[in-house]
Amino acid sequence: MSHEGIRIVHRENLPVEQVQLPIEARTPAKVRVKKTEGTGVEIDWKDGHESRWNFAWLRNACPCATCHEEREKTGRAPGKPKPKPQTLLAMYEAPPRPIDVTPVGNYAVRFKWNDGHESGIYSWEYLRRICECNRCASERRE
């Protein structure tokens, strides 16, 4: 018999990021990385939720320490693009897309981006937390 169901967890005082998501909410049932199409990533979760992100968004949500710090400093939410410098003439920048996508254990995925950056390890849990569907996005804004 499992005791999972009766475990008492004191969640009230924890900041939102530290409350663990239920296992079904952070376990992908299906992951589709549209590398060839260059569009983005689609994940169907075990709890029936579906998440979609485009590659530019994911690149701007890179969870590595450097990107995370840079976002914290400028108050940029994960996935939001960097403000473009006003003074420079628009320089052509190739839209972000991964050159390589590798699974990390069974808990994460790692992208090697076309700009050379590859230190971000996107855990399933992180991806679920940054789900961009209307419901999750509006819940986060509240």
Residues near Zn ion (CB under 5 A): 62, 64, 67, 120, 131, 133, 136
Q: Which is nearer to Zn ion, 48 or 85 (CB)?
A: 48
- The CB-of-114 to Zn ion minimum distance in angstroms stands at 14
- CB nearer to Zn ion: give 43 or 106: 43
Q: Cα–Cα distance between 44 and 85 in angstroms, integer? A: 37
Query: What H or E segment, with its residue span, contains residue 29?
Result: strand 28-33
Residue number, 64 or 101, with CB nearest to Zn ion: 64
CB of 62 to Zn ion, least distance (A): 3
Tokens of 133: 């569907």
What's the closest the beta carbon of residue 131 comes to Zn ion, in angstroms? 3
| Phi, psi dihedrals of residue 11, rounded to the nearest 5° | -105, -20
Beta bridge partners of 121: 110
Report the residue number, 25 or 33, with the smaller CB distance to Zn ion: 25
Cβ neighbours for 89, distance < 8 A, ≥ 6 positions apart: none
Distance CA 4, CA 31 (A): 27
Give min distance, CB of 94 to Zn ion, in A. Answer: 17
